[in-house]
Amino acid sequence: MYSAKRFLILGFLSLFWISCETQPPKRPNILFIMSDDHTSQAWGIYGGALSEYVKNSGIKRLASEGVTLDNMFCTNAICVPSRAAILTGNMSHKNGVYTLGDALSPDTLNIAKIMSSAGYRTAIIGKWHLKEEPTGFDYYKVLPGQGRYFDPVFKTAENWEYGWKGGKEQKGFSSDIIGDESIEWMAQQSDDQPFFLMTHFKATHEPFHYPERHATLLEDITLPEPQSLLEPYPTETGRTFRGQLLDNLTKRWLRYQAEPDKYWTDYPGMPFEIDGLDSIGIRKKSYQKFVKDFIRCGAAIDDNIEKILAALEKSGQLDNTLIIYTSDQGYFLGEHGFFDKRMMLEESARMPFVVRYPKDLPQGERNTSLLMNIDIPALILDYAQVNQPDAMQGKSFRTLLKNPETPGREYTYYRYWEHSPDRPAHFGVRSQRYKLIYYYGEPLGMKSASKEATTPTWEFYDLLEDPKESINHFNNPNYKTIIEKMHQALKTEKAYYEDHAVVVPEL
């Protein structure tokens, strides 16, 4: 009798264990946090001259408890197209969002629609910037256009109107409101259903405002300058385009001071005086103001990352929430004498990226594999246990995160469509060591593009010997063989992604 009873108990336990082994693991909540232009130079975990000056307690915690990616690149370094690529898993020529002037069609398949269909509760809070009403989200609370830093207006389904109409003003600083609203929404979610939340900060976009609590940050500090700050005074690098010079930001400040009621925005820390300074002195002084404003603006993001982590920990949701923090692209902080983004150069195209999920990922590790922003939704779907649609061009990198020995991409592909004479339209490929860029310089009828074409040019960089991209080696005979290889790779990658506009010319 005893033996029979024991046999039955063992049998039931065996069935229970088999059942546990065959059931899929619980799907995690997924929190995707993204800022605007918060470039890797200002994160403090990527090294560089500014690393010891930035506030980054929240970012450092994510990095110490997760995996930091060194080589995540966007496919079109400007806000609207980059966001569309992340939402759709497709490049601009596939999702129809090429420039700042384009909108994402509400009918487009996006990550929120897929996650919602798979049983996730979905929401987006903060910057949207894709013009048409968000679709696929159970809840949205978004800024119109760029939105305001102080007392911003937010639009929800109850008061949506196209453009700058609709919405309701909310008192406070935008980063703090977006952080608080995200915490509140997550707290309202049931444990019975996983959530997918996109928390999008307006910061650190121009005009780089910051809350009063950070007004004195770096007040008595002289920040170190990038080596290339004074280009083109007088360095000749072989760079083939003028770029968005830091001097243009100085001119914006002065125009705002002259007619504050007529200018498109306002700026913090005014007035800005340049009397008695020569061009070099003006650029150096402008750099100090610009980068301090940028770091103060970024400090408010870090405050809210800390706050969100603390709230998830308190609610018991932290261990079952996969958390990503990234920026929609990089940003020049005086390198090459530039500010802004748009270009395929490293500071602009690199997206800082950290992902935390200790249940499945190592902690405190870095990964140098080449990745692209169209891979991000594929990763999210992988963790949500949802099959990736065939239409998506990206690839999940979950295995790569867990095992750095897993091969990543051999090349990343980039294309910028919003042509202007100073920043010509271009495409290119990057390997771990080399980069080849072709500036075809044509508007191609794109919205927001200049109609003034520019002379086509090539640039080639050896990122091992010249990580700051200070020397264009395209005409250097020592690199002839590798340039030919990169040229073939450019043709291959362009064809693979079915980007057929503008033929890659022969060398």
Dmax over Cα atoms in the chain, in whole Å? Answer: 103
* Rounded Cα distance, 70 and 449, in Å: 31
Q: Where are the alpha helices (DSSP H) in 327-396?
A: 346-349, 376-383
Domain architecture of the chain: domains with CATH: 27-213+291-407 (3.40.720.10)
Q: Which pLDDT does position 234 carry in this prediction?
A: 58
First to last CA, the chain: 87
pLDDT at 24 over 70: no
Do residues 215 and 296 touch, judged by C-beta distance below 8 A? yes
Residues 183-204: tens digit of each pLDDT: 999 999 999 999 999 999 999 9
Instruction: Identify the residue whose tokens are 């809350």.
Output: 211
Q: Which pLDDT does position 8 carry in this prediction?
A: 40
Residues 274-327: tens digit of each pLDDT: 999 999 999 999 999 999 999 999 999 999 999 999 999 999 999 999 999 999
In DSSP terms, which residues pair with 34 in a beta bridge?
200, 326
What pTM was estimated for this model as a whole?
0.94
Pairing of strands 353-356, 67-69: antiparallel
List the beta strands (DSSP E) in 178-298. Answer: 195-200
Query: Cβ atoms within 10 A of the Cβ of 482, count?
Result: 16
Do residues 461 and 349 touch, judged by C-beta distance below 8 A? no
Q: What is the mean pLDDT of residues 24-43?
A: 95
Q: Which pLDDT does position 72 carry in this prediction?
A: 98
* Rounded Cα distance, 163 and 478, in Å: 53
List the beta strands (DSSP E) in 172-310. Answer: 195-200
Cα dihedral: 129, 130, 134, 135 (round 10): -150
Do residues 410 and 123 touch, judged by C-beta distance below 8 A? no
Give the rounded distance of the alpha carbon of 211 from its chain centre.
Answer: 22
Residues 61-99: tens digit of each pLDDT: 999 999 999 999 999 999 999 999 999 999 999 999 999
Residues 321-338: tens digit of each pLDDT: 999 999 999 999 999 999
**273: three-class secondary structure by DSSP:** coil
Q: What is the mean pLDDT of the chain?
A: 94
Do residues 426 and 490 touch, judged by C-beta distance below 8 A? no
Q: Which pLDDT does position 20 carry in this prediction?
A: 42
From the list 370, 352, 427, the residue with the least C-alpha distance to 98 is: 427
From the list 115, 110, 135, 121, the residue with the least C-alpha distance to 185 is: 121
Tell me the Cα Rg of the chain. Answer: 24
Q: Tell me whether residue 438 is exposed, middle or buried, using C-beta atoms within 10 angstroms of its C-beta: 0 to 12, 13 to 18, 19 or more.
A: buried
Q: Which run of H or E residues covers position 154?
A: strand 153-154
Q: Which pLDDT does position 407 carry in this prediction?
A: 84
Cα dihedral: 446, 447, 450, 451 (round 10): 60
Query: Cβ atoms within 10 A of the Cβ of 172, count?
Result: 13
**22: three-class secondary structure by DSSP:** helix
Residues 441-456: tens digit of each pLDDT: 999 999 999 999 999 9
Q: What is the mean pLDDT of residues 11-34?
A: 65
Find the helix packing angle between 79-88 and 376-383, rounded to 10°.
Answer: 30
